[in-house]
Structure 1
Amino acid sequence: MTDEPVVAIAHDYLTQRGGAERVVLAMHRAFPEATIYTTLYDPQGTYPEFRDADIVTSPLNRIGAFRRDHRLALPVLAPAARAMKIPADVVVTSTSGWAHGFSTEGLVYAYCHSPARWLYLTEQYLGGSSLRSPQGLALAALRPFLRFWDQRAAARPHVYVANSTVVQERIRDVYGRDADVFFPPHSVDTNGVRQPIPGLEEFVGEGGHYLTVSRLLPYKNVDQAIEAFRDLDERLLIIGAGPLADSLRRTMPPNVRIASHLPDAQMRWAYSAAKAVIAPSYEDFGITPLEGAAWGKPTIALRAGGYLDTIVDGVTGRFIESPTAQDIRAAVVGFATEEWDAEKIRAHADTFAEARFRDRLRAEVSALTETACSR
């Protein structure tokens, strides 16, 4: 080990815009010289800031269909991940299924967003039985091989950390490993430029809309949020992309809109004018309540998963007991009579600031290398 170890960053795939990709950007700001290794990279599908990084991809990246939808690559992702060679002294891994299986002779620090949801929580991930879709049938056929591969991959990192208490428990149950909780940061810049979303200026108007920021997947329960607003005298703006986008657009009422692939300036505009955030899915961490909190906005969220770590009931938001249209609607109606202290909400968000994340990550990577050197 040299005095200044070479640090690399590994991530499953950079093909979408979500909380995990935000964490990778924060990791890269902590280690700006680090090369990022990933199976797939779609510059148009993920955050534009990645264009400033040195990114190494697997041969699968040559296949455009895989870049557009990483789920199509499922049968070949395990061998592709194993074939990824990372020549670094320390690999900081952002993983929810693949990156902890990349090959390296260096030390591995695994930041786990969750053991593979599609592998261990298949029905939740698919939104129903695995026998009801071609994707589910493929998962069922591959599950024995993928579990064997995943268990071996999970045994290799020298340090495992969890992004929430629920993921900490899941890592212990699935992998039999102890993991400290290390919350991810929010990286909201409330001082940046705000730009209206084209075509939604009249819909948003002076603000006061509710906001859901989510990938459009079955387990996200965005369809239930839409139904909650049907015939309701409130507006819902949904920001996200995914396989359900077209079907949701066909069925949404006129007081609901969907926007996708927005730059940060338009995200700031949407958050800053919102009345509250709605987060109806079971999330391993769920960063949108913190993004809303940075703007002083409360959240209506499912009482489960990572939201139990990030929301103070009655102070920064309100919990619902089930992700149904009925419960969401009741909470929205109740918001008309509730008052929220924006300063207290912002102060809560500050405890998840990126500077704290960056300092802890650097300290833990340094401790890992020092421990290795002392052996």
Structure 2
Amino acid sequence: MRGGSGGGRPRVAIAHDYLTQRGGAERVVLSMLRAFPDATIHTTLYDPEGTFPEFRDARIVTSPLNRSTRLRHDHRLALPLLPWAVSRLPVDADLVIASSSGWAHGVPTSGKKLVYCHAPARWLYQADAYLGHPPRSSVTGRALLALSPPLLRWDRRAAATADRYLVNSTVVRDRVKEAYGIDAEVLPPPFGIDPHGPSEVVGELADWADGYHLLVSRLLPYKNVAEAVRAFDGLDERLVVVGHGPLEAELRATAPPNVRIVSGLVDAHLRWVYSHSTALIAPSLEDFGLTPLEAGAFGRPTLALHAGGYLDTVAPGVSGAFFATPTANDVRAAVAANRNAEWDAEAIRSHVDSFSEPHFHRRLVAAVETLLTDDRA
């Protein structure tokens, strides 16, 4: 089945919160687009320079907010305006797949709505973790608390407009049930990087090509990157951090000599970075643990926080090991324990194969067909 507008085929569209980043959710949208290559993408903000270049080949419809260069470059500034922006993104299609971590599930549509939920909005349901501190302790947090009541009402009304909910992990399934009272089906997203594609050396890391630990993350408080950086201070081990975000300047200023931070990498660079690493460090509380799958596609194990989406994607003793808390001490202990560990690269790759894109496409297309069939019936 393919989405489209001609020949009597069902018209399938895709909605996403904002296309301003190069993150796991945006990779999932690209995978959805490969399943439905004729689909138009509807989003509040689109920054071609800030997100994956493959989106340049797609038909993208944006909200009125996209006229603001400042908001395209920092979508967080648009938070109080996003419900209004989403309401001005009407989707004329037989079915819209809403890739949502807070907003896209509210798009108005003339057809069916299938929500693929990455997580209920963190700033509403996990504000402490999202901000990295209690909301009342900062101006931003207090502003968020003031906005929360109307945003919660909007969010719950938006969730109620869905015909079906899919979620990316068991922990998100539980959060959706708690937030909305909806029983959702778990459909893990595929890992996003093809390990067989072209590779390009990262110049800043060329002298470390013989190996290092790797951390791939947005540099936000709840990602616990600072704790991982502290863990390597004084260790006879190296750490490469790939990512960007509000904490980048602070992390660069405090990183010890055996830690390097790189950003702005394309997929060819990421293949080089993964293939030259020895293990992935994953210290954040994730809704879905994508980076262990990316590392695993290259046969690399993961040392992960025993929580969240990593519980679904890391197989202990096969593809990685867990540590208990996202602290420098626990990360350091996990690195030390891994020094003499022996990992079977083929077993790791075999585990990752169960999260392949063809598997994701089969289940997603089946969910779309079921909804459209029920509608025709």
Same fold (TM over 0.5): yes
Does residue 159 (structure 1) correspond to residue 164 (structure 2)? The answer is yes
Q: Determine helix, strand or coil for the equivalent of 2:234.
A: coil
Q: Determine helix, strand or coil for the equivalent of 1:327.
A: helix
Q: Residue in 2 aligned with 1:143?
A: 148
| More off after superposition, 189-198 vs 350-359 | 189-198
Q: Residue in 1 aligned with 2:186?
A: 181
- Where in structure 2 are there 5+ consecutive unaligned residues? none
Query: Which amino acid is 1:176 matched to?
Result: G
Deviation at 1:17, TM superposition (A): 0.9
Which of the residues 313, 316, 319 maps onto 1:313?
A: 316
Does residue 107 (structure 1) correspond to residue 112 (structure 2)? The answer is yes
Q: Residue in 2 aligned with 1:53?
A: 58
Which of the residues 214, 220, 224 maps onto 1:211?
A: 214
- 1:117-156 Cα offsets, whole Å, 9 max, x none, are 1110000111111123332122111000000000000000
Distance, in Å, in 1 between the alignment partners of 2:361 and 2:82 is: 30
Distance, in Å, in 2 between the alignment partners of 1:121 and 1:331 is: 27
Q: Contact 2:96–2:112 (CA<8 Å) still a contact in 1?
A: yes
Does residue 231 (structure 1) correspond to residue 227 (structure 2)? The answer is no
Q: Contact 1:45–1:261 (CA<8 Å) still a contact in 2?
A: no
Deviation at 1:74, TM superposition (A): 1.0
Listed as ranges, the matches of 1:270-349 within 5 Å are 270-349=273-352
Distance, in Å, in 2 between the alignment partners of 1:145 and 1:286 is: 31
Distance, in Å, in 2 between the alignment partners of 1:219 and 1:118 is: 11
Does residue 96 (structure 1) correspond to residue 98 (structure 2)? The answer is no
Distance, in Å, in 2 between the alignment partners of 1:53 and 1:280 is: 34
Q: Residue in 1 aligned with 2:14?
A: 9
Does residue 82 (structure 1) correspond to residue 90 (structure 2)? The answer is no
Q: Residue in 1 aligned with 2:131?
A: 126
- 1:62-97 Cα offsets, whole Å, 9 max, x none, are 111111111101111111111211111100110010
Distance, in Å, in 2 between the alignment partners of 1:357 and 1:160 is: 15
Could you say what the CA RMSD is over the residues aligned between the two structures, in angstroms? 1.1
- Identity, % of aligned positions: 57
TM-score (norm 1): 0.98
Distance, in Å, in 2 between the alignment partners of 1:60 and 1:199 is: 37
Query: Which amino acid is 2:215 matched to?
Result: T
Does residue 191 (structure 1) correspond to residue 174 (structure 2)? The answer is no
Q: Contact 1:19–1:286 (CA<8 Å) still a contact in 2?
A: no
Q: Contact 2:289–2:312 (CA<8 Å) still a contact in 1?
A: no
Deviation at 1:3, TM superposition (A): 4.4
Paired positions, count: 372
Deviation at 1:199, TM superposition (A): 2.2
Q: Determine helix, strand or coil for the equivalent of 1:200.
A: helix
Q: Residue in 2 aligned with 1:353?
A: 356
Q: Residue in 1 aligned with 2:29?
A: 24
- Where in structure 1 are there 5+ consecutive unaligned residues? none
Q: Determine helix, strand or coil for the equivalent of 2:240.
A: strand
